[in-house]
């Protein structure tokens, strides 16, 4: 199986991978110590990833994901499904009413 | 008063879960980790020194790459250890509380949110895929495939120096356009395949070369939330696209399983079921 071939995150990745996630992601809840990671001058310490931007992608002319409708269509599908179920129920009720008459 | 507080230390929060956490997994990494149980949630924490983590000292330490490296690695490994046996919500680096009561108050305040999130994350893993492009290799391939470019090459060889120079310029331009087109095509196909199995997708900022320390350019930085029983399929898909595009100049860096860092903030990481 392919999974067996994969090395675990910590071994397979360089430190940038860890820093990217630990410093920039994870749930943000204000603790008692107020510190804005973005305020710190990180430029000198290679954690430029915090200020890297998608502008770079635009420069390179790669932006396929921005037009990607995956997330929005999924949401739409769920909405349509819900509406569908509601309509079917309404139809059933109407049919029963007609039969009862 | 201050001296007493310094002795008590601060509470550093790694992650929360709704199962009894197995601290043995992280005892060799973190100095005396423990958990705080509150309203059905377990917060995995550690005491840290104020001389390192209070506001002033933390600010100073955050300018020190070696310090960050060490602490961020501990943060990551601690969460990974707990994650082996339980679904976790990973917290951002340096989420710190003065007292246990403050932490408990925070848990109460976000109880509903955390419980809903744990349900969403149950039996799922985060995986990361970064795609890089070696444009030299991509262009070499194109020079052998693209008819227009092949023709211009022939023309250059049979032209006088002046004309050959102009043709070379034109060739370069065409090559860049063609390479960009191919890159978009390969990227789109890869991304379409990658998102077949996951239930959550997140696109992150592209990282510059200074950070990646690679010669090729990053063209996709993505994270996926995948049902555990679909991870095998997902990795097979990664192998598929790797086999398809490696010779054409792309490099695929797939890592995981990660704590679900990218899928914890409702506004940022979108999760949908199905």
Evaluate if residue A8 carries a pLDDT over 60: no
ipTM of the complex: 0.82
Q: Do B232 and A34 touch (CB under 8 A)?
A: no
What would the two tokens of residue A23 be?
């410093």
Residue range B11-29: mean pLDDT, rounded: 90
Q: How many Cβ atoms are within 10 Å of B217's Cβ, its own excluded?
A: 18
Closest CA to B245 of B186, B188, B195, B196: B186
- Take residue A59 and report the two structure tokens written for it: 């420069």
Using alpha carbons only, what angle is made at residue B150 by residues B147 and B154, rounded to the nearest 5 degrees?
A: 140
Give the percent of chain B with pLDDT over 70.
94
The answer to whether the beta carbons of residues A34 and B55 sit under 8 Å apart is yes
Q: Which residues in chain A are closer than 8 Å to B112, comparing Cβ atoms?
A: none
Q: Is the pLDDT of residue A47 over 70?
A: no
Has residue A1 got a pLDDT over 60?
no
Mean pLDDT of A40-64: 50
Residue of A11, A14, A25, A37 for testing the chain B interface, max B β-carbons within 10 Å: A25
**Which of B25, B51, B68, B80 would you mutate first to test chain A, the one with the most A CBs within 10 A?**
B68
Structural domains in chain B, sorted by start? 2-122 (no CATH), 125-263 (3.30.70)
pLDDT at res. B24: 84
pTM here is 0.77
**Segment holding B243, helix H or strand E:** helix B231-245
Q: How far apart are CA B49 and CA B90, in angstroms?
A: 21
Q: How far apart, in whole angstroms, are the C-alpha atoms of residue B226 and residue B229?
A: 8
Distance CA B115, CA B120 (A): 9
Cα–Cα distances in angstroms (integers) from residue B259 to residues B39, B79, B218, B225, in the given order? 23, 7, 23, 10
Domain ranges of chain A: 1-52, 63-101
B65 CA: distance to closest CA in chain A (Å): 6
Pairing verdict, β B96-97 and B10-17: antiparallel
Token pair 């349900």: residue: B119
pLDDT in tens, B44-93: 999 999 999 998 898 888 877 788 888 999 999 999 999 999 999 999 99
User: Is residue B105 within 8 Å of B39, Cβ to Cβ?
Assistant: no
Q: Which has the minimum average pLDDT: A10-24, A61-75, B109-123, B190-204?
A: A61-75
> Residue for token digits 């340096």?
B94
Query: Can you say how many angstroms the Cα of residue B68 is from the centroid of all Cα atoms in its chain?
Result: 17
CA–CA distance from B159 to each of B82, B90, B138, B152, B195 (Å)? 69, 64, 27, 10, 49
Overall average pLDDT of the A11-36 stretch: 76
Distance of alpha carbon B117 from alpha carbon B260, whole angstroms: 11
A74-93 residues touching B, CB cutoff 8 A: 74-75, 78
User: B20 or B28: which carries more pLDDT confidence?
Assistant: B20
3-state secondary structure at position A28: coil
Cα–Cα dist A11/A8, whole Å: 6
For residue B217, what are the β-bridge partners?
B133
């Amino acid at each position: 199986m392919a999974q067996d071939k994969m090395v675990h995150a910590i071994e397979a990745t360089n430190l940038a991978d860890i820093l990217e996630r630990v410093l920039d992601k994870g749930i943000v809840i204000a603790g008692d110590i107020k510190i804005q990671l973005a305020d710190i001058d990180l430029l000198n310490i290679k954690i430029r990833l915090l200020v890297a931007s998608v502008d770079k992608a635009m420069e390179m002319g790669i932006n396929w994901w921005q037009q990607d409708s995956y997330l929005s269509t999924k949401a739409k599908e769920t909405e349509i499904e819900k509406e569908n179920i509601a309509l079917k129920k309404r139809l059933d009720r109407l049919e029963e009413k007609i039969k009862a008459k | 008063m201050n001296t007493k507080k310094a002795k008590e230390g601060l509470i550093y929060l790694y992650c929360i879960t709704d199962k009894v956490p197995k601290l043995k997994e992280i005892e060799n990494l973190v100095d005396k980790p423990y958990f705080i149980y509150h309203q059905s949630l377990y917060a995995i924490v550690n005491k840290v020194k104020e001389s390192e983590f209070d506001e002033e000292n933390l600010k100073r330490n955050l300018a020190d790459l070696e310090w960050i490296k060490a602490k961020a690695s501990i943060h990551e490994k601690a969460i990974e250890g707990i994650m082996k046996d339980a679904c976790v919500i990973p917290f951002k680096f340096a989420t710190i509380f003065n007292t246990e009561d403050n932490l408990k108050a925070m848990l109460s305040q976000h109880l509903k949110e955390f419980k809903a999130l744990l349900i969403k994350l149950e039996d799922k893993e985060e995986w990361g895929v970064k795609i890089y492009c070696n444009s030299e290799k991509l262009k070499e391939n194109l020079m052998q495939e693209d008819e227009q470019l092949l023709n211009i090459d022939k023309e250059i060889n049979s032209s006088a120096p002046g004309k050959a120079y102009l043709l070379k310029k034109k060739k370069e331009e065409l090559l860049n356009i063609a390479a960009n087109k191919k890159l978009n095509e390969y990227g789109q196909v890869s991304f379409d395949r990658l998102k077949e199995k996951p239930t959550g997708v997140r696109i992150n900022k592209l990282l510059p070369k200074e950070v990646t320390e690679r010669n090729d350019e990053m063209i996709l930085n993505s994270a996926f939330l995948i049902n555990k029983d679909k991870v095998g399929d997902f990795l097979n898909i990664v192998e598929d696209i790797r086999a398809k595009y490696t010779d054409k100049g792309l490099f695929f860096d797939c890592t995981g399983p990660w704590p679900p860092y990218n899928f914890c903030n409702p506004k940022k990481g979108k999760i949908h079921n199905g």
